[in-house]
Structure 1
Amino acid sequence: MGFPMGFRNIDIPRSLLYTASAMAYINNLIYFFLSLLTLSRLPQDDSYLWPEFQEIHSPISPTSGEMIKNSLPVITFRIVAEKLTDSEEDFGCAVCLSSLKEDDEIRELCNCNHIFHRNCLDKWIDNYQDTCPFCRCPLLPPPEQS
């Protein structure tokens, strides 16, 4: 690699160079004064970003992960394929990206009806995920409020 054959040098006007240098100097000066006032650092906590998101989404514990696994039944893809005989679409697991075969054990989610290999979804849940890997809706419906 290198520069093109006809390349010699670039003529940049001195006024442009002086302007860029002055802007960099002003930027450093502003940053210096803000750091003296400790205003240049953002809070380490992300709670100020999306308070409504924190109310909805909380990390799941290993026990609730086991509860989610127990709530989602394991079936074979053959059962789902019989319901979808009209469709000629090739269904695949969105976690491992491989096609589903008739004998594969799968879990069908109750909220969004997406299907995944049982092992793939179990690993997803073991990584403290409580939403669908494909559409991000909750794996289980919210508890009924009385």
Structure 2
Amino acid sequence: MGFPVGYTELLLPKLLLHTLSLLGLIRKLISIFFHLLGLPDFHQPDIVSPDSSSLPDSRFHSVSALLVREILPVVSFSELLDPPESCAVCLYEFEDQDQIRRLTNCRHIFHQSCLDRWMAYHQMTCPLCRAPFIPDELQEAFNERLWAASGIPDFVAEDSHVPGL
């Protein structure tokens, strides 16, 4: 029992694979042509350029993300010494006027909008190496600010007049 002898030489699967390969090559050539003309990629509409802001409304951001944004420095790309060529989140090349966030723990840099979008999804580690955004020496101060921003200390202070606490 087994497959027929000529099964591996069927014409349809080979023809289908060659057709798909040819279509992929044509797509790549068209993409290169559009890139050379300076036109955006027409077949990838879900990629957001670092210039556009697709972040949700700031009132819905987590308190920790807002505090991390305050802590992480924002600089112009032209001010950096020996920077990488492109952002690891969006894969777009950096330009001199781009606003950049430099992570203090690992020294990786990203477009400000890319890292802010990353934090909007409650990610608090580097997209490349997973080092935490907040350095160890600032973690205690960050936790205190987060605790104060949560409003819990005010609630505890109001109930401190209860005997036995």
- Please give the TM-score of this superposition, normalised by the length of structure 1: 0.52
Structure 2 counterpart SS, 1:106: strand
In the TM superposition, structure 1's runs of 4+ consecutive aligned residues that sit over 4 Å from their partners are none
Cα separation, 2, equivalents of 1:75 and 1:106: 5
Cα separation, 1, equivalents of 2:99 and 2:4: 59
Cα separation, 2, equivalents of 1:90 and 1:103: 15
Structure 1 counterpart SS, 2:129: coil
Structure 2 residues not aligned, in runs of 5+: 8-60, 142-165
Larger radius of gyration: 1
* Correspondence for 1:62: 62
* Correspondence for 2:121: 127
1:108 aligned partner, one-letter code: R
Q: CA RMSD in A?
A: 2.2
Structure 2 counterpart SS, 1:6: helix
Q: How far off is 1:102 after superposition?
A: 0.9
Cα separation, 2, equivalents of 1:5 and 1:99: 53
Cα separation, 1, equivalents of 2:68 and 2:140: 16
Cα separation, 2, equivalents of 1:5 and 1:122: 59
Greater helix share, structure number: 2
1:92 aligned partner, one-letter code: S
Cα separation, 2, equivalents of 1:128 and 1:68: 11
Q: How far off is 1:5 after superposition?
A: 7.2
Written as runs of structure 1 = structure 2, the 5 A alignment for 1:72-91 is 72-80=72-80, 83-84=81-82, 91=85
Cα separation, 2, equivalents of 1:69 and 1:90: 22
Cα separation, 2, equivalents of 1:75 and 1:4: 67
Structure 1 residues not aligned, in runs of 5+: 8-60
State, as a whole percentage, how many aligned pairs show the same letter. 43
